[in-house]
Amino acid sequence: MNNHRSRIFQARFLNQPTVFIGSNTAVRELLHDKYNCFRMGYKDFFHQIYGNSLLFSDGLEAEELRQSLHDLFQPASTSLNEHSVQIDRFAEEAVETMLSKDYILVYEHFKQVTTQLCLSLFLGLDHSLSVDLMKELCELSTVHWHGMISVPLSLSLPWLVSSGFSKALHAKEQLLKIIKKRLQTAEDGFPARIKTALQSEDAEQNLLLFISALVPKALSSLLTSFICCSHLWCHEPLIKNGELDVSLLECILLEVMRIWPPFIGGRRVAIMECTIGGFHIPKNYAVIYLAHAAHLDPEAFPQPESFLPARWKDCSDSDKEKLYCFGGGPRNCIGQHLVWTILKDRRLGAARK
């Protein structure tokens, strides 16, 4: 942005002409106003790893899939209410572990906890009764994730070490076998509900996405930033007279998301010629929106580099829409209510100590 003297510029990325967007208002235009001028840009690279899921669908297919999954992730849903009980239990164990030690590797600790939590929520597993299966799933999820950051070459010869991509594809097949078995035997919980909401193969592919390392890594990043950074820069207590100050907690979390979003942003591909922020984008050009840059746009946030939770004290919904941690518009993250339920657990106040 400094080199181009603009928060919107064009460069070649992954051997394709790509427009980068770091303007807050331009990102909103992309995700809200002109979302139908673009398709999701992830299928080009990650479809083999994840298969057909919500992340790779577009148009009418995406609308129908989101509608089918919508009720499973709403605040008032039975599924989300059941999740709250499991989240409380995991949060309590996670905080007890933290408080019992002199020091802890916070990110690694949260990654382990949130991985187990996602497996428990989405596959209906009791981690205390399924230790071996949990361990196997965690290992497979890690190998599967590493395929996303490997060269997409499926190479596996007896005299050579298998490529990371090849190992990821094998891990994917193993994960799908376990998922299929869980769906076949599920009588309640999230597996039973998604089995009712979607056809068999769609349920399997989307569960693969939900239990992947993608979600735990994002949650771990946010929780680590919250624990470390709010401790350094926000000394107002979260627990007052034995009660959690929910308003202060939300202000801190919003500011953490603003300065340290867990993902760099997102990718789209233009299906028609259009303009974003006055910048001409030809058909078939890729667009990458930069959440971190958009969150540090001084036109959207005065003193953008300062950690100021108070800026969110009397914020409106439109103010919150300037954050792109969960994307935005019709293709925003379908699980954001679940993420907020985890992040706003009262035990975070104790963990922050």
Q: Which string of DSSP letters, residue by residue, matches 145-201?
A: HHGGGS-S-----TTSPPPHHHHHHHHHHHHHHHHHHHHHH--SHHHHHHHHHS-HH
Q: In which residue are the tokens 């303009």 written?
A: 275
Q: How far is CA 251 from the centre of its chain?
A: 20
Q: What are the pLDDT tens digits along the chain (353 aa)?
A: 999 999 999 999 988 999 999 999 999 999 999 999 999 988 888 888 888 888 889 989 999 998 888 888 876 666 667 777 788 888 888 888 888 888 889 899 889 889 989 999 899 888 777 889 999 999 999 898 887 766 554 444 454 445 788 888 999 999 999 999 999 998 888 999 999 999 889 999 999 999 988 889 999 999 999 888 766 766 677 777 777 788 888 999 999 999 999 998 999 999 999 999 999 999 999 999 999 999 999 999 999 999 999 999 999 999 999 999 999 999 999 888 888 888 877 666 555 55
Q: How far is CA 206 from the centre of its chain?
A: 14
8-state DSSP, 236: S
The predicted structure's pLDDT at residue 159: 46
Which residues, 6+ apart, have CB-to-CB distance to 96 below 8 Å?
Answer: none
Provide the token pair at 131: 């230790």
CA–CA distance, 176 with 174 (Å, rounded to integer)? 5
Provide the token pair at 325: 């941690």
The predicted structure's pLDDT at residue 100: 87
The predicted structure's pLDDT at residue 320: 94
Please give the C-alpha separations between residue 116 and each of 95, 152, 154, 290, 303, in angstroms, as whole numbers: 15, 28, 29, 30, 38
CA–CA distance, 64 with 67 (Å, rounded to integer)? 5
CA–CA distance, 164 with 147 (Å, rounded to integer)? 5
Residues in the chain: 353
In terms of Cα–Cα distance, which of 174, 121, 182 is closest to 143?
174
The predicted structure's pLDDT at residue 137: 93
CA–CA distance, 169 with 49 (Å, rounded to integer)? 6
Question: Quick one: CA dihedral 112, 206, 75, 249, positive or negative?
Answer: positive
In terms of Cα–Cα distance, which of 293, 275, 291 is closest to 283?
275
The predicted structure's pLDDT at residue 150: 62
Q: How far is CA 257 from the centre of its chain?
A: 12
CA–CA distance, 235 with 140 (Å, rounded to integer)? 40
The secondary element (H helix, E strand) that includes residue 239 is strand 239-240
The predicted structure's pLDDT at residue 91: 82
Maximum distance among all alpha carbons in the chain?
A: 65
Is 12 in a helix, a strand, or coil?
strand
Cβ contact 106:227 at 8 Å: yes
